[in-house]
Amino acid sequence: MEEGTLKSPSHCKGTKDDAVRQWDVREDCEVRQILDRVADKWSLLVVALLDQGSWRFTELRREIDGISQRMLTVTLRNLERDGLVRRTVHPVVPPRVDYELTPLGATLHDTIQALVRWTESHQEEIAAARAAYDARATGDTP
Amino acid sequence: MEEGTLKSPSHCKGTKDDAVRQWDVREDCEVRQILDRVADKWSLLVVALLDQGSWRFTELRREIDGISQRMLTVTLRNLERDGLVRRTVHPVVPPRVDYELTPLGATLHDTIQALVRWTESHQEEIAAARAAYDARATGDTP
DNA sequence: CCGTATCCTCCTGGATACTG
DNA sequence: CAGTATCCAGGAGGATACGG
Establish if A77 touches chain B: CB-CB under 8 angstroms.
no
Mean pLDDT of A16-29: 65
Amino acid (one-letter) located at B45:
L
One-character DSSP codes across chain B? --TTTS---TTS-S--SSSS-SS---TTSHHHHHHHHHT-HHHHHHHHHHTTS-EEHHHHHHHSTT--HHHHHHHHHHHHHTTSEEEEEE--SS-EEEEEE-HHHHHHHHHHHHHHHHHHHHHHHHHHHHHHHHHHHHHH--
Radius of gyration of chain B (CA): 21
With an 8 Å Cβ cutoff, are A126 and B27 in contact? no
Integer distance in angstroms from CA B43 to C1' C7? Answer: 33
Residues near chain D strand, CB within 7 A? A 41-42, 66-71, 74, 94-95; B 56-59, 69-70, 73, 76-77, 87, 94-97
Q: Give residue B18's pLDDT.
A: 52
Closest chain A residue by Cα to residue B64: A25
Mean pLDDT for chain B? 81
Restricting to A residues 33-72, those with a Cβ less than 8 Å away from any Cβ of B are: 34-36, 38-41, 44-45, 48-49, 52-55, 59, 63-66
How far is A73 from A56, CA to CA, in rounded Å?
12
Residue A32 lies in a domain: no
Q: Which residue is nearest to the C1' sugar atom of D14, using CA?
A: A68
Residue B24 lies in a domain: no
What integer pLDDT is reported at residue B5 of this predicted model?
A: 29
Å: A23 CA to D5 C1': 35
What average pLDDT score do residues B92-118 get? 92
Instruction: Return d(Cα B124, Cα B110) in angstroms, integer.
Output: 23
List of long-range contacts for B85-91, beta carbons under 8 Å, 24+ apart: B85/B46, B85/B47, B85/B50, B88/B54
In a domain, A126, yes or no: yes
**Chain A residues touching residue B53 (CB < 8 angstroms):** 20
Q: Under an 8 A CB cutoff, do B123 and A31 touch?
A: yes
Total of domains in chain A = 1
Q: Which of the given ranges, B2-16, B68-82, B106-120, has the highest pLDDT on average?
A: B68-82
Which residue range is the domain that position B117 belongs to? 39-138
Q: Tell me chain A's radius of gyration from C-alpha atoms.
A: 20
Residue pair A66/B33 in contact (Cβ under 8 Å)? The answer is no
> Protein B138 CA to nucleic acid D14 C1', in Å?
29
Query: Rounded to whole angstroms, how far apart are CA atoms A103 and A86?
Result: 10
Measure A11 CA to C1 C1' (Å): 49
Of residues A137, A32, A38, the one with CA closest to residue B77? A137
Residue A12 predicted with pLDDT over 70: no
A56 in contact with nucleic chain C (CB within 7 A): yes
On whether residue A52 sits in a domain, the answer given is: yes
Q: What is the pLDDT of residue A2?
A: 32
Q: Could you tell me the pLDDT band of residue A36, with boundaries at 50, 70 and 90?
A: confident
**Contact criterion met (CB below 8 Å) for B81 and A130:** yes
Instruction: Look at residue A2 and tell me if it is in a domain.
Output: no
> A11: pLDDT confidence band, cut at 50, 70 and 90?
very low
> Is residue A19, in this structure, part of any structural domain at all?
no
Contact B50/B76 with Cβ under 8 angstroms?
no
Measure the CA–CA gap between B33 and B3, rounded to whole angstroms.
32
* Beta carbons of B113 and B47 less than 8 angstroms apart: no
- Per-residue confidence (pLDDT) for residue B93, from 0 to 100: 87
CATH assignment at residue B47: 1.10.10.10
Read off the amino acid at residue B103.
P
Specify the higher pLDDT residue, A29 or A128. A128
Contact B2/A at CB under 8 A = no
Determine if residue A17 is left, alpha or beta; phi over 0 gives left, psi from -120 to 50 gives alpha, anything else beta.
left
CB-based contact, B99 to chain A, within 8 Å = no
Domain contains B122? yes
A60 CA: nearest nucleotide by C1': C2
pLDDT digits (tens, 9 = 90+) for A43-88: 988 998 998 889 999 999 988 888 999 999 999 999 999 999 999 9
Alpha-carbon torsion angle B129, B134, B137, B139, nearest 10: -110
Say if B9 falls within a structural domain: no
In the 3-class helix/strand/coil scheme, how is B93-121 assigned residue by residue?
CCCEEEEEECHHHHHHHHHHHHHHHHHHH
